[in-house]
Chains A and B, each alone.
Chain A
């Protein structure tokens, strides 16, 4: 897919022909220098933004060309989101925030699945709290739980640990990893942190809107090494 902003001289190409497939039930991380198009890629994949050229599919659904109603329903029923910050509605309790996508869609909560998710993120005793009464890490875990509870085709996370300390970050990442491995949840995560990327099953590297590398079963060191190459490569070119 291709994505450019603006037109004429001021045009910025954010994605310059990216072809990528994310395997079902896998945890994939996207890395790359700042401005390389990571967020843009994720937004296009998730139906939050449309591509200039190319096609996006989620499962059997062709995302490209859907109208607003179709995109909204796609996001509601087949996609889960975790943003870097401001994930929760301040007027709702943790539990209401978690079940919000279901409530919006008028769907019933699968209690057994809900309990499993809650116990995995370890939020059982926080369910009646409001977001302001939760720590940043807890808030991100609530956001993760919300992304999972509707059993979406895929969960997208944009720097979910960007604002957290390492301990809270590790909890969130551990939970994402577990979701993929134990519950078979497909997850795509954008991150800057090689350590975070090491929780994934696969890491793809983006530079200047193109995929330039990928590593399977990464370790933090391997990712760091690749990143260094990337930086110098980009710096030279």
Chain B
């Protein structure tokens, strides 16, 4: 039996290679994700142990709400007095964004843009050129900033900090031990200590942390315990090793999430792969009916027949897993290098290794997927009666009742799981429900395949080859259906996401058009290194006095502890303007300016926490002591805003005591554009801050969705690629099965180009059928999701017609591409051989 199985494997090379390729690609994605995240993980670990190699103990203020506070200079002196401390150096770190020679704010792909205090004789730095800063207008910059920005000693450099841009003179350029330009692609600038304190922290005489060096013979832990004991519970002391581990763990957490996302897409790709393999095995079993029946009549048991098919699947799964693992290692290494070069600036990559998790998951995934796909065909093979050997091998069209009933049941179950998942906020249930729905639809597909295929085909059958292609694609509804269903999965997911995002865009646009009365919105660029742009409250006063401005409300966000729970709060400068511009309605109390100890609360939050007017709450902001506030008003439910609003007095106690946004209403009848032109100069020194009218702002906000969509499209490309393999597989099979027909057509005068066109039409029909299914299923998924998200503010249904049209076109193109090889093969057939083909 083993020999027979291996022989049959070899005799179906192309088909098996194509379906194994589906598994290889999926496994490659899985292994690649593990290799990539493992490599990055270790690289970041190295990076942080490097950064903290000169730190024995680090002291920071205990975090109050969203961020650690500052350390006053007096504490540094206290630490110096601790027994075993060789050196204690107060350090300042914060955000400083340099402006490049092209006048634009320089950005990184995630590495921070840092401002620090200069410490003479810092052993962690290697001076390359010039000296450290001595005067207030001098800075030394990191070599990476110098090389990417083209700065030399003696040049001027402009920097944005808590203050708008200021000009400094570069007096020194430094690198890091080992001849490195940066530790991890960061752009760093060092100021004199007082300047750094003022610009990074907003006040003089305080530090971000204290870097403590131990005297000889004192262990890190020992020193930490002594410093802790001395400083009490307001400060936190950590060893350098602990800090490096904490930061590396934090990155690892992020990478883990990233890995999950990659694995989810790998899962989708493998799910599609199951369709392809199932199809291949079904076809192989159907074609081998006589051979298997012969084995049965010679005495092979059902188990043996079934075993031979399962064994075949096992061998394929094993080979595909090995190849996929190898390819995944390569892809992971490639992506890690790509990330190190383009993503993290100059992250020094740890050696690429093959983690055990990659090996285990590759083999289990590869084997499970192939075996699952082979179960149904194997069962069918085992049911072949020995008499089938004597009958004509033609496989009659089996009735579609069973798959149709099963499909309907699975679809309904999937729908129920989704509905349940939405109400219980269970992502796993939703995901499972969607996958079940796909299986259900795939089972129902043969039923609709005939009418749909002939409908789609009609558009392409203006010539004889077209007609033949269309009829060929309708010849085997099951095969066409599974092939198309594989393509459906990818397109349905993209369409579903696209419908949700388009609906969200429409909802946000409608909301901003109907509910928000702000004419101009001032907002800072969202930087991915955490250094968001902010501006001071005095700009707000100058805005208010600008002619044509009716009202202005400034807005600052931060995390806060309310009754010891983390919340996101906003401090606003003008409650009346906020009420007017955001159309807030009173639920209870009066929406009026807040006293220093009053807050406003949304109806949702009030209901959730059982609050009413004159209830009290304890609020701890990032700075200062906890304070008790009284609820002054509750505003009625609105999609525009919810949460807790603090008075403007609270701004000084936020992590960044500045405004992030401002909303401006223009005096009725005045030109918004004119007012915008008058306000813009106020931000001339804040190039990161833009003044936009309402629709431009909405557009900018919703444009983030495009990025999300693009990422998803890129990740789903693999699932679509695998589906294309399925189309190629099906077509290659058609060509083999119809060799004699092709020979006949060529004999009576069909040109090669016409043969190719015939195969191409068949391919396009299958692909477009898959796309149409995908669009329909995806729209249904999208609509269901939008309906479920109604309470989250997605109130409008909108379809991305243009994109849906594009997906159809893409499917047609995919069809053409998938047809290339089978068509060439068909066109190359020798006429005489083809006619004589058995």
| Residues on A facing B (Cβ under 8 Å) | 43, 48-49, 68-69, 72-77, 79-81, 83, 86-92, 96, 100-101, 103-106, 146
Contacts and interface: CB of A to CB of B under 8 A. Distances in A.
Interface in B653-694: none
Given A72-B750, A81-B748, A92 B471 contact: yes
9 contacts: A43-B832, A49-B832, A72-B749, A73-B751, A75-B747, A86-B740, A90-B741, A91-B468, A104-B751
A95 to B, nearest CB: 13
B472 interface: yes
Contacts of A86: 740, 744, 835
Most buried by B among A69, A76, A80: A76
A156 B748 CA distance: 11
A49 B468 CA distance: 26
Given A49-B832, A81-B747, A87-B744, A72 B752 contact: yes
Nearest to A105: B749
A77 B749 contact: yes
Interface string B718-749: 00000000000000000000001100111111
Q: Which 4 A-B pairs have the closest CB atoms?
A: A76-B749, A91-B471, A103-B464, A75-B749
Contacts of A88: 744
Interface in B448-479: 463-465, 467-468, 471-472, 475
Nearest to B472: A91
A72 B747 CA distance: 8
Contacts of A75: 747-749
B751 A72 contact: yes
A100 B471 CA distance: 14
Contacts of A72: 746, 749-752
A91 B475 contact: yes
B140 to A, nearest CB: 75
A101 B749 contact: yes
A158 to B, nearest CB: 10
B361 interface: no
A157 to B, nearest CB: 13
B320 to A, nearest CB: 35
Nearest to A39: B832
B745 A73 contact: no
Contacts of B832: 43, 48-49
Contacts of A101: 748-749
A105 B463 CA distance: 10
Interface in B727-783: 740-741, 744-752, 754
- Report, as a range, how many residues of chain B touch the other chain: 20 to 34
B51 interface: no
Contacts of B749: 72-77, 79, 101, 104-105
**Dominant secondary structure at the B interface:** helix
Given A49-B832, A86-B740, A68 B468 contact: no
A94 to B, nearest CB: 15
B741 A89 contact: yes
A19 B746 CA distance: 27
A83 B835 contact: yes
B831 interface: yes
A188 B503 CA distance: 71
Contacts of A87: 744
B744 A89 contact: yes
A90 B476 CA distance: 13
Given A83-B835, A91-B472, A104 B750 contact: yes
Contacts of B835: 83, 86
Contact of B748 (A69, A76, A96, A106): A76
B779 to A, nearest CB: 33
Nearest to B754: A104
A69 B471 CA distance: 26
A182 B750 CA distance: 29
A66 B746 CA distance: 16
Contacts of B748: 75-76, 80-81, 100-101, 104, 146
Contacts of A69: 751-752
Contacts of A100: 464, 745, 748
Contacts of B754: 104
Nearest to B465: A104
B744 to A, nearest CB: 7
Given A88-B744, A92-B471, 10 more contacts: A49-B832, A69-B751, A69-B752, A72-B752, A75-B747, A76-B750, A100-B745, A104-B465, A104-B748, A104-B751
Nearest to B470: A91
Contacts of A79: 749
Nearest to A84: B835
Contact of A89 (B468, B746, B752): B468
B740 A104 contact: no
A108 B471 CA distance: 22
Contacts of B464: 100, 103-104
Contacts of B741: 89-90
A43 B749 CA distance: 14
Contact of B747 (A48, A73, A92, A103): A48
Nearest to A90: B741
Nearest to A87: B744
A80 B744 CA distance: 12
Contacts of B471: 91-92
Nearest to A83: B835
Contacts of A96: 467
A48 B830 CA distance: 9
Nearest to A78: B749
A81 B746 CA distance: 11
Nearest to B741: A89
Contacts of B467: 96, 103
Interface string B470-511: 011001000000000000000000000000000000000000
A171 B494 CA distance: 61
A96 to B, nearest CB: 8
A187 to B, nearest CB: 16
B463 A106 contact: yes
A96 B463 CA distance: 13
A79 B748 CA distance: 8
B752 A68 contact: yes
B464 to A, nearest CB: 4
Nearest to B746: A72
Nearest to A75: B749
A76 B753 CA distance: 14
B242 to A, nearest CB: 74
Most buried by A among B464, B468, B744, B748: B748
A102 to B, nearest CB: 9
Nearest to A46: B747
Contacts of A48: 747, 831-832
A131 B51 CA distance: 80
Contacts of A74: 749
A82 to B, nearest CB: 10
Contacts of A146: 748
A38 to B, nearest CB: 14
A91 B748 CA distance: 16
A89 B740 CA distance: 10
Contacts of B463: 103, 106
B611 to A, nearest CB: 73
Interface string B64-90: 000000000000000000000000000
Nearest to A96: B467
Nearest to B835: A83
A51 B666 CA distance: 91
A81 B835 CA distance: 12
A236 to B, nearest CB: 32
A106 to B, nearest CB: 7
Contacts of A73: 749, 751
A107 B741 CA distance: 22
Most buried by A among B468, B472, B740: B468
Nearest to B740: A86
B232 to A, nearest CB: 88
A103 B465 CA distance: 9
A87 B743 CA distance: 10
B750 A89 contact: no
